[in-house]
């Protein structure tokens, strides 16, 4: 099993529907104090210039914090856990330019974070803001997060993938939002994992040929009805190895495995099943038959390539038949 598969298997185990508690009428203000901050510090390391030492790890999870202004003075922090608090403002983190890892995995009622404005982390490699109420991603620009490779946004209120302008991003987890449209994915050229389980997608339009590294795609529990809605999978056919389509209306079709393999000849796993050699042969033969049928009905044209607007599956059939595979 590859490192990519191991990562997503662990995520799928944890990827359960979040429970919602009753909202409190009033959220009690809770400021970060020096005492609490000092108790959470650990991992003494040399500072960037090598001339001094400072604590670089801070654990503040489950503190009920609503204000973390005090943190802005601790500029040497590299690892920060703010899980299960009630923060609405991330501006105090702007001074923490050496952050490599930030987690704010908030699952309780009363979360107030609706965007990521104010968050800056040129050294940040991993960001987890699962379980908030984020609706827009205006703050995720390449100039502020040049080294970000892993982004977790599960359990928020996003309706689109637009505004994620992070060319170096490798893993993107967007399960349990309300995403209806795939937009802006052409900018994610290094992405290997895209997790979109339990959203409201009816089509995979938006997948891009620029996504030349994508190996794992999970769209379980969406509203994808038929094979016409997944034609864009052909754009990532060369690299995609694992696809999860279960709990979509599409899977009710008895031959959906074969239809998907016609689009993705290099696929290794579909849902929980390993692709068999028999399925590969059946998909290849069906693809060839479809291609020859297209030629027959198109014989009134002199040049098939100039006369048709070819879909990814037809282009793939052309390549397979012309190469004799």
Burial class (CB in 10 A: 0-12, 13-18, 19+), 210: middle
Segment 249-278 shows an average pLDDT of: 90
Among the ranges given (18-22, 35-39, 291-295, 299-303), the one the predictor scored with the smallest mean pLDDT? 18-22
pLDDT at 215: 98
pLDDT-derived band at 95, boundaries 50, 70, 90 = confident
pLDDT of residue 305: 47
Predicted pLDDT of residue 111: 44
pLDDT digits (tens, 9 = 90+) for 269-297: 999 999 999 999 998 888 776 655 555 54
Reported as a pLDDT band with limits 50, 70 and 90, residue 185 is very high
Q: Give the pLDDT band of residue 101 (cuts 50, 70, 90).
A: low
Q: Taking 80 as the threshold, does the pLDDT of residue 177 lie above it?
A: yes
Q: What percent of the chain has pLDDT over 70?
A: 74
Confidence of residue 3 (pLDDT cuts 50, 70, 90): low
For residue 16, what pLDDT is reported? 46
pLDDT at 169: 94
User: If you count DSSP H runs as helices and E runs as strands, how many of each does the chain have, helices first?
Assistant: 6, 12
Average pLDDT over residues 136-152: 79
The Cβ of residue 87 has, within 10 Å, a number of other Cβ atoms equal to: 20
Residue 103: per-residue pLDDT? 59
The winner for highest mean pLDDT among 3-7, 28-32, 127-131, 201-205 is 201-205
Integer-rounded Cα Rg, in Å, for the chain is: 23
Mean pLDDT of 250-279: 90
As its CATH architecture, domain 3-9+28-289 has: Alpha-Beta Horseshoe (3.80)
The domain spans of the chain are: 3-9+28-289
Tell me: pLDDT of 186 over 70.
Answer: yes
Beta strand 126-128 with 101-103: parallel, antiparallel or unpaired? parallel
What is the per-residue pLDDT across 112-130, written as a single tens digit (0 to 9) for each?
A: 677 777 676 677 888 888 8
Whole-structure pTM value: 0.75
Distance CA 228, CA 247 (A): 17
Look over the chain and give the mean of its residue pLDDT values, rounded to a whole number.
Answer: 80
DSSP sequence for 185-234? GGG-TT--EEE--SS--S--BTB-TT-TT--EEE-TTS---SGGGGGGGG
């Amino acid at each position: 099993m590859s490192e990519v598969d191991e990562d997503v298997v662990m995520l799928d185990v944890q990827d359960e529907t979040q429970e919602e508690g009753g909202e409190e009428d009033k959220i009690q203000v809770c400021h970060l104090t020096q005492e609490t901050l000092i108790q959470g510090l650990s991992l003494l390391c040399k500072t960037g210039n090598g001339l001094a030492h400072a604590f670089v790890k801070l654990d503040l999870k489950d503190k009920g914090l609503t204000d973390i202004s005090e943190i802005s003075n601790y500029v040497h922090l590299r690892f920060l856990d703010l899980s299960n608090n009630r923060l609405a403002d991330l501006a105090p983190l702007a001074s923490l330019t050496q952050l490599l890892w930030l987690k704010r995995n908030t699952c309780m009622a009363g979360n107030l974070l609706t965007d990521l404005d104010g968050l800056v982390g040129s050294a940040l490699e991993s960001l987890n803001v699962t379980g908030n109420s984020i609706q827009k991603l205006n703050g995720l620009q390449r100039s502020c997060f040049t080294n970000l490779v892993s982004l977790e946004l599960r359990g928020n209120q996003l309706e689109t993938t637009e505004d994620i302008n992070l060319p170096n991003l490798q893993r993107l987890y967007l399960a349990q939002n309300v995403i209806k449209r795939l937009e802006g994915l052409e900018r994610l050229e290094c992405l290997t994992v895209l997790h979109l389980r339990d959203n409201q997608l009816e089509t995979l339009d938006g997948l891009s040929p620029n996504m030349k590294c994508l190996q794992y795609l999970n769209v379980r529990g969406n509203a994808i009805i038929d094979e016409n809605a997944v034609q864009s999978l052909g754009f990532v056919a060369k690299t995609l190895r694992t696809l999860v389509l279960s709990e979509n209306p599409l899977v009710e079709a008895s031959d959906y495995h074969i239809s998907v393999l016609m689009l993705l000849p290099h696929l290794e796993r579909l849902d929980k099943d390993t692709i068999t050699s028999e399925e590969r042969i059946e998909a290849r033969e069906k693809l060839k038959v479809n291609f020859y049928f297209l030629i027959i009905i198109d014989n009134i044209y002199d040049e098939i390539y100039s006369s048709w607007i070819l879909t990814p599956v037809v282009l793939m059939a052309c390549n397979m038949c012309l190469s004799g595979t």
